[in-house]
A and B are shown apart, each in its own frame.
Chain A
Amino acid sequence: MSDLLEIAQRVVDAAAPGEQVEAYVLRTRETDVSVFGGEVESLSVAEIEGVGVRLIVDGRQGYAWAGSLDPDVVAETLAEARDNAGFGSPDEHTGLASPDDFGGVAAPALDLWRDELLAVPASEKVDLALALEAAVLRADARVRGVESASYGDAASEAAIANSLGIAVSTRRTTASCSAFAMAGEGTATQTGSGFSAGRSVTDLDPDAAARDAAERAVRLLGAQQVPSQRLPVIFDPLVTRSLLALVGGALSGEAITRGRSMFVGRDGEEVAGPGITLVDDPTLPLAFGAATHDSEGIPTRPVDLITGGRLSGHLHNVTTARRAGGGARSTGSAVRGGFKSPPSVGARALHLLPGDRSPEQILASVPEAFYVQSVSGLHSGTNSVSGDFSVGAVGLMVRDGAFAEPVREVTIASTLQRMLHDIVHVGADLTWLPGGAAGMTLLVSEMSLAGR
């Protein structure tokens, strides 16, 4: 048994009669490097530990956490969770996971840990970040500066145990590097970012990240507002990823059962074009969000959300499945933002079933379109309850299958419901990206562009 699972189990063993207790214990070791002007700007090495305790008694739930695994602190945290439970409202749907919730699903065999990451000295990580910065400057003469170049990694180990018999350990390593390039001068400046991510340093391709950052900044030089118009829009894979994350949020059991989703009451209905299939599959080894178990200790599995354009499923944890009723079970979709909050529901590896067209073929499939390289204001301009969607965008006009003039200071708007129906082509270029979803090139038949 891992030392973390032992700590979790000790908390669970202290449950009083009539109590359900769950302990989540986390330890993360991280390194972060940022460089600027050929010098190390900062190097940070850290180990973070903590525990979160959920306690349910008489249908009332309480939660407490502490940023320490000191035995006295852990014991105090259990006592605090117990006290907190006294102030929650009774809710018949509240409950912890049990092995019965596995539904016969076995945890996928996934290798998400690389010992080598912990063996790499910090100096090599610094050198990688310095090389990344230099490569951005070298990539194109029009790059005048690098706003940031950084490297970061994390090795996280977690344990979940509860009084209904769950006892699970998980661990994963991640490494990434990213750069932000600036091209042009003064208010004519344009920016572009590039990154590379994997499970260890050796998975990273800093040269590709540098090329992306430089190319994405340089190709926007001279960008202008264009007149307001309605036109076809092509999303870069990174933008598609953000769009899918919004849709995935609206398909969470938490949003659905609380009546806070544009998909409420639409099960089985056509919610997207006929060719659209959306799946969350954390069992895929290439997905950055791949996981053997969810944050309540239930094995993950593929979850069909939209099949052939029809709404075919929701993401559930134990509580939201019970609240949904109708025989719904957890889909192994509990997620946590660390140990400081109780589990919620979310996607880990959301992706559209790819189509058969390359990005080039999609660009050539319409006489004119706006290619959206990046968007801004996703948190302030989109609403997954009403479906309203309006974001700032930069990108390039596309004509005759090729990039034409660059565009800035415009917005693109529609509703999420409309956009799902308006998807014309899903690219074949499925790319796994950090952030719980994959991206690919996507053509939407019409959106409102606001500009000059």
Chain B
Amino acid sequence: MIEEAVLARTLGSALRHGGDFAEVFAEDRRTAGARLDDGKVEEFVSGRERGAGIRVVRGDTTGFAHTADLTEAGLLAAAEAAAAAARGAEGGVREVALQRRETRRPHEVAVLPETVEKARKAAVLERADHAARAVDGSVRQVSASYADSRRRVLIANSDGLLVEDDRVRTRFAVNCVAVGDTGMQTGTEAPGRTLGFEIFDEIDPEEVARVAANRALTMLRARPAPSGKLPVVLKRGAGGVLFHEACGHGLEADLVDKDASVFRGRVGEQVASPLVTLIDDGTYAREWGTYAIDDEGAAAQRNVLIDHGVLTDYMWDLVRARKHGRASTGNGRRETYQHLPMVRMTNTFLLAGDDDPDDIIRDTGTGLYCVALGGGQVDTATGDFVFGITEAYMIEDGEITEPVRAAQLIGNGPDTLRLVDAVGNDFDTWAGTCGKSGQGVPVSSGQPTLRVAELTVGGTAG
């Protein structure tokens, strides 16, 4: 993307006003997608952007500038702006010697998106539309979307690192509206993988459509969700977002460093039920949050965050790790070259336990069984978090009974981690987009079927 000598001169120039560290992050990104609504492919959208973000770190201050001009002149101008923003004293141009490091990928991509005809991508949408409508006449609206991206990135820094990655992602989503005498309800399913078009070898678009359609139909016969504290069983896959919100964000070192996390200073302590072993693993082959290197050039890792309830470590990016004299855990990510990296999760999941999922439900008596969730939010400083249920059922006398309408669940992270009292021997994952400080990045979360002894369910029924 950029010649090695140009990178070296840019980094040297970036440190001319002093500074401890300089970095060039360049990317060339192509995206393509299409959306079907009301039986029609609305339009194909494709896009391309290339550019570089340059940062200069001096003490606790980071200067940042970015440019779409990848010529030496463009890069030097951005380096000058970043250096000026870091407000250093004159230091003189520094020599930077770069050493290229090979990238080890967790898996290979078989069918690059740009090699697939657009007509084949549109055909997938049409198959989903037909399958969803075939489920039931009450399915009145179907929208489906297909999106792929290929992002080639290059990272060079004043420590001499030079590394490149080539990231491919494909996502497919179906949203259905069903209409009945109780009004309208929606159902959504949106799997994603770090794969090319071979994603459809493992994801059947018609099955995705049927799941979304059935979800909307189920909600038509849902009764109001309960209001108050209940045991909550989360089906495998659906509830990973619980840990993403309840403690994932609170274990990000930038928030910990700012004393904005309830988990600060608690490494080595029992912070969760002994049933909880929580992993963040950027190397998980084919998963939505996977990459070979993070956006600061550190290799992705499998990091154990909580081991049998004991907090073992936070997640780290380069800047925070340098400050603490330790290594990055490969969690420095940014949305595009126009953003500064920060600590982010990758694929965050709870390891499976010993319980039979059916036994967990049977032992629950009265509770709520959550099958699909719609995302969540947390205030890491207080630990209070929410997540929304989009498909859930009552558990009565140990049996799954009637569906309940969408509602929010609320809890406090440290409290909830201690209340996990059953963990199943199954497992699944769920793809999503995580937002933090205005940047969205692809992540996945996962868990076995599990139970939280008590959470507050925000329905409207007595």
Instruction: Give me the interface of A with B, judged by CB distance under 8 Å.
Output: 36-37, 39-50, 54, 60-68, 73, 77, 80, 83-91, 122, 144-145, 147-148, 182, 186-187, 189-191, 225, 228, 258-260, 262, 264, 340-342, 376-377, 379-381, 383, 385-388, 390-392, 394, 408-414, 448-452
- Which residues of the partner chain A approach B407 to less than 8 Å between Cβ atoms? 381, 388, 390, 411, 413
Answer yes or no: B353 CB below 8 A from chain A CBs.
no
Instruction: A113 to B67: give the CA distance in the assembly, Å.
Output: 24
Instruction: A174 to B67: give the CA distance in the assembly, Å.
Output: 22
Distance in angstroms from B188 CB to nearest chain A CB is 10
Distance in angstroms from A177 CB to nearest chain B CB is 15
If A36-B60, A66-B48, A452-B229 touch, whether A377 touches B387 (CB-CB below 8 Å) is yes
CB pair A84–B49 under 8 Å, yes or no, is no
Answer yes or no: B113 CB below 8 A from chain A CBs.
no
- Which residues of the partner chain B approach A85 to less than 8 Å between Cβ atoms? 43-44
- CB nearest to B260 among chain A residues: A147
- Which residues of the partner chain A approach B262 to less than 8 Å between Cβ atoms? 186-187, 189
Choose one: A43, A68, A144, A409; the contact of B50 (CB below 8 Å). Answer: A68
Instruction: A68 to B68: give the CA distance in the assembly, Å.
Output: 7
- Which residues of the partner chain B approach A50 to less than 8 Å between Cβ atoms? 49
If A36-B60, A380-B387 touch, whether A87 touches B85 (CB-CB below 8 Å) is no
Instruction: A275 to B375: give the CA distance in the assembly, Å.
Output: 35
CB pair B258–A147 under 8 Å, yes or no, is yes
- Pick out which of these stretches binds chain A: B177-185, B283-291, B393-401: B177-185
Which residues from 202 to 231 on chain B have a C-beta closer than 8 Å to any C-beta of chain A?
A: 219, 225, 227-229
CB pair A189–B381 under 8 Å, yes or no, is yes
Q: Interface readout for B164-200 with A: 1 if CB under 8 Å, 0 if not?
A: 0000000000000101000111100000000000000
If A390-B407, A450-B459, A451-B228 touch, whether A48 touches B186 (CB-CB below 8 Å) is no
Answer yes or no: B51 CB below 8 A from chain A CBs.
yes
Choose one: B34, B40, B183, B408; the contact of A381 (CB below 8 Å). Answer: B408
CB pair B64–A411 under 8 Å, yes or no, is no
Which residues from 62 to 109 on chain B have a C-beta closer than 8 Å to any C-beta of chain A?
A: 62-68, 81, 85-87
Sampled A-B contacts (8; CB under 8 Å)? A44-B64, A44-B65, A49-B68, A62-B45, A388-B405, A390-B225, A394-B384, A408-B384
CB pair A450–B457 under 8 Å, yes or no, is yes
Answer yes or no: B412 CB below 8 A from chain A CBs.
yes
What 4 pairs between A and B have smallest CB-CB spacing?
A411-B458, A380-B388, A67-B49, A381-B408
Answer yes or no: B274 CB below 8 A from chain A CBs.
no
CB pair A259–B140 under 8 Å, yes or no, is yes
Known pairs A88-B42, A89-B40, A258-B143. 7 more at Cβ < 8 A? A39-B60, A61-B42, A86-B118, A89-B36, A187-B383, A390-B407, A413-B408
CB pair A450–B228 under 8 Å, yes or no, is yes
CB pair B374–A380 under 8 Å, yes or no, is yes
CB pair B386–A377 under 8 Å, yes or no, is yes
Answer yes or no: B414 CB below 8 A from chain A CBs.
yes
Answer yes or no: B277 CB below 8 A from chain A CBs.
no
Instruction: A414 to B42: give the CA distance in the assembly, Å.
Output: 34
CB pair B48–A87 under 8 Å, yes or no, is no
CB pair B47–A340 under 8 Å, yes or no, is yes
Count chain B residues whose beta carbon lies closer than 8 angstroms to a beta carbon of A. Answer: 87
Instruction: A379 to B377: give the CA distance in the assembly, Å.
Output: 9
Instruction: A341 to B225: give the CA distance in the assembly, Å.
Output: 37
- CB nearest to B37 among chain A residues: A258
Answer yes or no: B376 CB below 8 A from chain A CBs.
yes
- Which residues of the partner chain A approach B61 to less than 8 Å between Cβ atoms? 39-43
If A387-B183, A409-B384, A448-B459 touch, whether A87 touches B66 (CB-CB below 8 Å) is no
Choose one: A37, A187, A386; the contact of B412 (CB below 8 Å). Answer: A187
Choose one: B43, B62, B385, B405; the contact of A84 (CB below 8 Å). Answer: B43
CB pair A228–B228 under 8 Å, yes or no, is yes
- Which residues of the partner chain B approach A408 to less than 8 Å between Cβ atoms? 382, 384
Instruction: A86 to B87: give the CA distance in the assembly, Å.
Output: 52
If A87-B44, A145-B260 touch, whether A259 touches B177 (CB-CB below 8 Å) is yes
If A377-B408, A381-B458 touch, whether A62 touches B43 (CB-CB below 8 Å) is yes
CB pair B50–A67 under 8 Å, yes or no, is yes
Answer yes or no: B359 CB below 8 A from chain A CBs.
no
If A45-B65, A67-B48 touch, whether A36 touches B258 (CB-CB below 8 Å) is yes
Distance in angstroms from B459 CB to nearest chain A CB is 6
Choose one: B62, B66, B183, B457; the contact of A46 (CB below 8 Å). Answer: B66
- Which residues of the partner chain B approach A412 to less than 8 Å between Cβ atoms? 458
CB pair A381–B386 under 8 Å, yes or no, is yes
CB pair B122–A87 under 8 Å, yes or no, is yes
Answer yes or no: B312 CB below 8 A from chain A CBs.
no
Distance in angstroms from B69 CB to nearest chain A CB is 9
Instruction: A77 to B409: give the CA distance in the assembly, Å.
Output: 45
Distance in angstroms from B151 CB to nearest chain A CB is 13
CB pair B141–A259 under 8 Å, yes or no, is yes
Distance in angstroms from A238 CB to nearest chain B CB is 15
- Which residues of the partner chain B approach A73 to less than 8 Å between Cβ atoms? 48
CB pair B387–A191 under 8 Å, yes or no, is no
- Which residues of the partner chain B approach A449 to less than 8 Å between Cβ atoms? 227
CB pair B387–A44 under 8 Å, yes or no, is no
Distance in angstroms from B360 CB to nearest chain A CB is 23
Choose one: B51, B184, B377; the contact of A380 (CB below 8 Å). Answer: B377
Distance in angstroms from B363 CB to nearest chain A CB is 24
Instruction: A388 to B182: give the CA distance in the assembly, Å.
Output: 12
- CB nearest to B382 among chain A residues: A189
Answer yes or no: B38 CB below 8 A from chain A CBs.
yes
CB pair B379–A191 under 8 Å, yes or no, is yes
Answer yes or no: B259 CB below 8 A from chain A CBs.
yes
- Which residues of the partner chain A approach B412 to less than 8 Å between Cβ atoms? 187, 409
Choose one: A62, A91, A385, A409; the contact of B184 (CB below 8 Å). Answer: A385
Interface centre among A77, A191, A376, A388 (most CB of B within 10 A): A388
- Which residues of the partner chain A approach B45 to less than 8 Å between Cβ atoms? 62-65, 84, 341-342
- Which residues of the partner chain A approach B379 to less than 8 Å between Cβ atoms? 191, 376
CB pair B68–A84 under 8 Å, yes or no, is no
- CB nearest to B68 among chain A residues: A68
- Which residues of the partner chain A approach B47 to less than 8 Å between Cβ atoms? 64-67, 340
If A44-B64, A388-B407, A450-B458 touch, whether A380 touches B386 (CB-CB below 8 Å) is yes
- CB nearest to A415 among chain B residues: B460
CB pair A42–B64 under 8 Å, yes or no, is yes
Answer yes or no: B59 CB below 8 A from chain A CBs.
yes
- CB nearest to A91 among chain B residues: B40
- Which residues of the partner chain A approach B260 to less than 8 Å between Cβ atoms? 145, 147, 182
CB pair B85–A122 under 8 Å, yes or no, is yes
- Which residues of the partner chain A approach B381 to less than 8 Å between Cβ atoms? 147, 182, 189, 191
- CB nearest to A451 among chain B residues: B456
CB pair A44–B43 under 8 Å, yes or no, is no
